[in-house]
Amino acid sequence: MVYQYDTGAGLIVTSFRINRTITLQVWKRVEFWFCLGVHLLVAWGYHSGYLPRDGPGGAFFIPWNDMKIISAMTTFFEVFYTNQAYARYLFLYDSVRALLGTSLDFTFQLRLFARSAGKEYVLLPARWLDVSLILFFWQLKGQQVTGREFDKLQCLGLLNPSERFFLERYSIEQVILILLHWSAQVAVLGTAEAKTPPSVNQGLLSALVKCHHLELSLVDAMELPIPFQYFHLLSVMITINLLLWAYCMGCASSYFAPVVYYFATLIFVGMMDLASQLSNPFGDDEVDFPLEEWMTTMFSEQHAVLRHEYPEETKDIAKKWKDLIENEEGTFTWDPSNFDGIQPSTYFTRLPQGSFSEMGPAVTDEPSQSTLSAPSDAEKSLLLGSRRQQKKWVV
């Protein structure tokens, strides 16, 4: 999950922070301690007289002007690699957020245009869309979708036995596409039953097609990282650069050379490790996307759109809103000039707790049901929990 840090903490306080930084990851790298050990060994041998103190022109002397060439090349290649990894990271972020937003748009339009045909024409496509999203993100995180995962979906009520029996014969890529097609078919039936204009179907189908295109873009991006040949060449350059630095700085007369070498190695190895984490943000690293929270928020918003009943459910929707419109005159008494902002706590509210399959109780305008609470830890890990949590599911 991305850490929300304080930009006003100050340079010194931030620089000496260890928790939630790349420093801890670098300390776990064997090559970091190996290079540092080589440097300390060279420095000990140089100051103890075991290594010759050659000056310029000596057989064991490496001019710093020569070191500048490989150091400059290594720095350029590493900065370019990190920049490309971060650009890919931003693309994946935008695509995931767009996928969740488009799914919610489909639910919004479906409730608006097909509700008069019956709740089943709205809830069924939404349920299939949710299953396709869950399966897609499981696949994107590298998790093998087996019978155990289908057991989990069936226990949650997201799949019934007949649907599961039919879908298990296909690959996950095919299952995701089939579920989107099922959602489109029922949505079209709902709009036809509700007697909506034919143009309504275009918006609904466009949302589902966009979801599919975004999923393909995410899969393509994950399957096309920066070429291995570039990564291999960069790794060779960094290794040679660090080993040459270890010798050159070890042969320096200053006792501060080990300090300089430590931080130089920390920066070079740390940038490589950070770029590697940015290249795959679907895991458990500090920079990875909080998919669990995003999915929980999306399902909660979907819950509100699908299940709310305001002010009361009537079959004649047109008459219900007509009565409200006639009684609206003179009731809008809010004075915008007195608006002084929104309390921060209003951003951290959610719908009443309930099963994602049943969508919980209907939301009304009663004060007792409008009191919202923060999502529990169990709900956050309900669908996209960690692999350790997923192993706890017993059917």
Task: Please check whether residue 99 is in contact with residue 211, taking contact to mean a CB–CB distance below 8 angstroms.
Answer: yes
Q: Which pLDDT belongs to residue 324?
A: 59
Q: What is the mean pLDDT of residues 87-100?
A: 94
CA distance 2 to 6: 13
Query: What tens digit of pLDDT does each residue of 367-384 get?
Result: 333 333 444 554 444 445
**DSSP states of 177-242 as a string?**
HHHHHHHHHHHHHHHHHTT--THHHHHHHHHHHHHHHHHHHHHHHHH--S-HHHHHHHHHHHHHHH
Region 173-177: mean pLDDT is 93
Indicate whether 82 pLDDT > 90.
Answer: yes
Cβ(241)–Cβ(249) below 8 Å? no
pLDDT computed for residue 106 by the predictor? 92
CA 327 to each of CA 47, 321, 331: distance values in angstroms, whole numbers, following the listed order: 92, 10, 8
- Could you give the CA distance from residue 386 to residue 105 in angstroms, rounded to a whole number? 28
329 or 39: which carries more pLDDT confidence?
A: 39
Q: Contact 122/311 with Cβ under 8 angstroms?
A: no
60 versus 205: which is more confidently predicted?
205
**pTM given for the model:** 0.76
Q: Would you state the pLDDT for residue 199? A: 85
pLDDT of residue 226 exceeding 80, the answer is yes
Residue count of the chain: 395
Contact 194, 113 (CB under 8 A): yes
Compute the mean pLDDT over every residue in the chain, rounded to the nearest whole number: 79
Question: Which of 103, 116, 132, 128 lies closest to 190 in space, CA to CA?
Answer: 116
Q: Supply the pLDDT for residue 334.
A: 60
